Amino acid sequence: MEEQRKYRHEYKFLIGADEQVSLYFRLKGLLSLDPHAGKEGRYWIRSVYFDDYLDSCFYQNEDGVNERAKYRIRIYNVSDRAIHLERKSKKNGMICKESAELTREQCALLLKGIPLPMREPEMAAYPEVLRQFLVLMRTKGMRPKAVIEYERIPFVHEAGNVRITFDRNISSSLEVQRFFEKDNVRYPLLAPGRQLLEVKFDEYLPSYIKERLETGTLQQISFSKYYLGRKYTVSGIGGRLR
């Protein structure tokens, strides 16, 4: 239900390699690296995004629609150990992410555009996010459209439930059926050295973290990895974002 969703602030900034290094060391002594990042302090994210027969998610993003949602299946380090269907909703500039765990077999069907069985008792056992997604597959023609991949360095902080991430080597692929293969063909979405800084938090961003982020050069932008992946790879127009 809408009233049960917890929305968070999310701010995005395009930065260069030098800015990333500077901010990394500014934050390193203050925030903790996400324990899921392992010894190297980073991991790879790969997501396949779905859209309907009208490409509504793509065009709603382009038009800046205030209230919208998109669905994706996400894995980490090109592994099937953890597969999640996620719905990322946006409203009044804030975001909410909900997820449901999938098996490899369920994921394989969805990647082929085949809805999971929707009979009882299967349907009742599905999480709410998955149930709604399956309805959209049958009624709106939701199908996989683009694969987005990138390397992430994640910082976390308990106060404010802060999460600050550096995303680099952001790329797009059309090879949906090679979702679990490491050697899929990818196309870069950003110019060399360009990275994405994301700052997420609940009700407030602690002042001591905000001070570390104030470099005098950061400019907030609107940035959708899925939108760029479709625009510059699938649509065949434009080029890498500078």
Contact 50, 72 (CB under 8 A): yes
Distances (CA, A) of 38 to 129, 178, 180, 204: 29, 25, 21, 28
Task: At 182, list the tokens.
Answer: 């490491």
Average pLDDT, rounded, for the chain: 92
CATH class of the structural domain 2-234: alpha beta
pLDDT-derived band at 241, boundaries 50, 70, 90: very low
C-alpha to C-alpha distance for 167 and 92, rounded to whole angstroms? 24
Query: H or E stretch including 85?
Result: strand 79-91
Contact 7, 91 (CB under 8 A): yes
What would the mean pLDDT of 188-210 be, rounded to a whole number?
96
Q: What is the pTM of this model?
A: 0.93
Contact 75, 83 (CB under 8 A): yes
Place of tokens 């992430």: 152
C-alpha to C-alpha distance for 43 and 41, rounded to whole angstroms? 7
Lowest model confidence (mean pLDDT) among 48-57, 160-169, 203-212, 224-233: 224-233
The span from the first CA to the last CA of the chain, in angstroms, equals: 39
Return the closest-CA partner of residue 86 out of 127, 135, 53, 124.
127
What would the mean pLDDT of 54-62 be, rounded to a whole number?
94
- Can you give the pLDDT at residue 56? 96
| Helix (H/G/I), strand (E/B), else coil: 3 | helix
